[in-house]
Chains A and B, each alone.
Chain A
Amino acid sequence: MSESTPMAPGTSDTLLNPAPPLPPSPGSRPGKAEKPASLWSDAWHDLRRRPLFIGSSIMIVILVVMAIFPSLFSSVDPTQATTCQLATARQPPSAMHWFGKDNLGCDTFARTIYGARVSIVVGITATIVTALVGGLLGLIAGFAGGGTDTLLSRVTEIFFAIPAILGALLILSVFDTGNMWTVTLALSVLAWPMIFRIMRAAVITTKSQDYVVAARALGAGKSRIMFRHILPNAVTPVIVISMINLGMFISAEAALSFLGVGIRSPEISWGVMIADARPRFLEAPSPLLFPAAFLSITVLAFIMLGDAVRDALDPKLR
């Protein structure tokens, strides 16, 4: 591992540190100018040079902006019924309507842009919920061991035994609202055991490390050992898997919406659009192909991001 050296002004480093370092005067101490090189700053250093990371982050930033401010990308608001004209249904792509029009004469481009919000919100919310629930329970099970661990592990195995698509169908038919929050709930309920297992395994490995023993020898309490020593060293795989899961959640949301149990019209989501366009696909392929392409690119971007972060954080791959 190289020691961090002060960078010359004008390199990309100054973009991250808004206050440019003063030129070293003869009397200045070299220790002051050093910036600490933690694992995260090393990883960041490494990530900035990876085309995979740069490409996927640019796509994700665009998608997130699209989700928050869809009106920046489209002058047509597809949530207003007046923008749809049945007479122009299934119009092929044109200069006015880039992605053509769907079965109800609505602009496919506008609907695709507005559909990003549901995917992003469901993906991010489900990721946060699973990471928090699975991570916290995994930390407790791995740290406490014994009976607590056995109990929690058996509970997660019950969840593992439920086939994912069947479980989601069941939950969504019980809570039959057709909005994105129930979809998020169903995905979270089914996905947290995966994070639990990863966290538990990482905690068990970290627990027996010498620095944890050293902290115990100093008389450190349970919470200090858990949150200062074990968690920071065990959280990396959870972060990586969560990023990859985010893409999975987005495709699962689309799949459930396509099956008609997830999000339903009039809400706009890529899954709903694909389902709506399916019956007339051969006549008018564009209302199906464009949301499907956006979906694939989004899922791919999150999986690539997770891969890049994993490579940067795993010291063994360097």
Chain B
Amino acid sequence: MAATDNPPVLEVRDLVKHFPLTQGLLVKRQIGSIKAVDGVSFDLRRGETLGIVGESGCGKSTLAKLLMALERPTSGSVKINGRDMAAAKGRELKAMRRNVQMVMQDPYTSLNPRMTVGDIIGEPFEIHSDVAPKGMRRRKVKDLLEVVGLNPDHINRYPHQFSGGQRQRIGIARGLALNPEIIICDEPVSALDVSIQAQVINLLERLQNEFNLAYIFIAHDLSVVRHISDRVAVMYLGKIVELGGDVEIYDRPAHPYTQALLSAVPVPNPDGREGRERIILQGDPPSPANPPSGCRFRTRCWKATPVCTDREPLLEIRSKTDHLSACHHAESHDVVHAQ
């Protein structure tokens, strides 16, 4: 884990985002809400990487949008260096955005096809005109291209003249331009070939060391998350069900959902692969508009007891584990190395 003595740059507390469900043609009546993110709390320190994993629809991307202040939370706070970004507006919010930037999932849609690479990477300087004086900007864009491993002479090219991996590097350069402390990577490699994924991951790691960046790394590929993360949070239906260091999560998972996820990871070594424990969950995740009472995972959990229906398990360190988990029956169990 990264040094724990430095104060967190990002503090997320009880973050909630409910999207209203409305009905009616003329008069819109609210008939319920999608609980996309429902009470998420965590800290992020300088130079640290927090991986967030979970299946589709668990609220990972909504969480990323909340952290970027692209969506307003229903309640809760997102504090950056102690200032609440979720409550900031106008000029203050614009200034705070300099500290949090984003690398998007799809490198083919995240770059404006009508702008040159120089314009795309230079745009942050135009928006925040006090960062770099006009005459310096082109020089800075070329430096950024060099930092992410692209040829600075290609500054006048258009995005479609680059490959997927190169485009993702352009996206990373744009994120770096304002010298942020936090970069939110929303599935930054899932649209790329495996060979290119490794290059981009290595670039992200190099940049982290060079600029002491803090990453929120959202992905559904557990091996990629393990490779880059210091800590990992597992999300299910809008809640964090388990949070701990990468070794804690991968070698001693406590929550049944994490154990099920890990048992599905492909293992490259054929020795002992047959004897490995496989947990196959029944059914689909319940609708986030109408989540189950108590523990949200109880409908698919093999450990569920009446207490899971009655009481919602809190995210805390439990007796049989060494890290945070939200399960009444939490118990460390090594799934990956099980025989």
- Residues of A at the B interface (CB closer than 8 Å) are 1, 3, 29-32, 34, 36-39, 209-211, 213-221, 224, 228-229, 232-233
Task: Report the minimal beta-carbon distance from A239 to chain B, rounded to whole angstroms.
Answer: 13
- Residues of B at the A interface (CB closer than 8 Å) are 68, 70, 93-94, 97-98, 101-102, 104-106, 109-116, 123-124, 126-128, 151, 153-158, 160-161, 171, 174, 178
- A-B residue pair count with CB separations less than 8 angstroms: 81
The reply to whether A34 and B104 contact each other, CB–CB distance below 8 Å, is no
- In the complex formed, the residue of B with least CB distance to A215 is B123
Task: Report the minimal beta-carbon distance from B69 to chain A, rounded to whole angstroms.
Answer: 8
The reply to whether B158 and A219 contact each other, CB–CB distance below 8 Å, is no
Knowing A213-B104, A217-B102, A218-B123 are in contact, say whether A31-B153 is a contact too (CB < 8 A): yes
- CB contacts (< 8 Å) of B114 on chain A: these are 38-39, 232-233
**Bound CA–CA A37/B161 (angstroms):** 8
- Given A214-B102, A218-B124, A219-B127, 5 more pairs with CB closer than 8 A: A29-B153, A39-B114, A213-B110, A218-B101, A219-B93
- CB contacts (< 8 Å) of B111 on chain A: these are 211, 214
Knowing A36-B116, A210-B110, A233-B114 are in contact, say whether A3-B151 is a contact too (CB < 8 A): no
Task: Report the minimal beta-carbon distance from B192 to chain A, rounded to whole angstroms.
Answer: 15
- CB contacts (< 8 Å) of B94 on chain A: these are 219
The reply to whether B154 and A31 contact each other, CB–CB distance below 8 Å, is yes
Partner of B157, one of A34, A229, A233: A34
Offer 16 A-B interface pairs, CB within 8 angstroms, sorted by A: A1-B160, A31-B151, A31-B153, A36-B116, A38-B158, A39-B158, A214-B102, A217-B68, A217-B70, A217-B97, A217-B101, A218-B174, A220-B123, A232-B112, A232-B114, A233-B112
Knowing A31-B153, A211-B110 are in contact, say whether A220-B127 is a contact too (CB < 8 A): yes
- CB contacts (< 8 Å) of B104 on chain A: these are 210, 213-214
The reply to whether B174 and A1 contact each other, CB–CB distance below 8 Å, is no
- CB contacts (< 8 Å) of A214 on chain B: these are 102, 104, 110-111, 171, 174
Task: Report the minimal beta-carbon distance from B311 to chain A, rounded to whole angstroms.
Answer: 39
The reply to whether B156 and A219 contact each other, CB–CB distance below 8 Å, is no
Q: Which 4 A-B pairs have the closest CB atoms?
A: A31-B153, A210-B110, A219-B94, A232-B114
**Bound CA–CA A232/B102 (angstroms):** 23
- CB contacts (< 8 Å) of B97 on chain A: these are 217-219
Task: Report the minimal beta-carbon distance from B71 to chain A, rounded to whole angstroms.
Answer: 11
Task: Report the minimal beta-carbon distance from B151 to chain A, rounded to whole angstroms.
Answer: 7
- CB contacts (< 8 Å) of B102 on chain A: these are 214, 217
Knowing A211-B111, A233-B113 are in contact, say whether A216-B70 is a contact too (CB < 8 A): yes
**Bound CA–CA A34/B127 (angstroms):** 28
Task: Report the minimal beta-carbon distance from A232 to chain B, rounded to whole angstroms.
Answer: 4
- In the complex formed, the residue of B with least CB distance to A230 is B112
Task: Report the minimal beta-carbon distance from B12 to chain A, rounded to whole angstroms.
Answer: 17
- CB contacts (< 8 Å) of A228 on chain B: these are 112, 115
**Bound CA–CA A187/B174 (angstroms):** 46
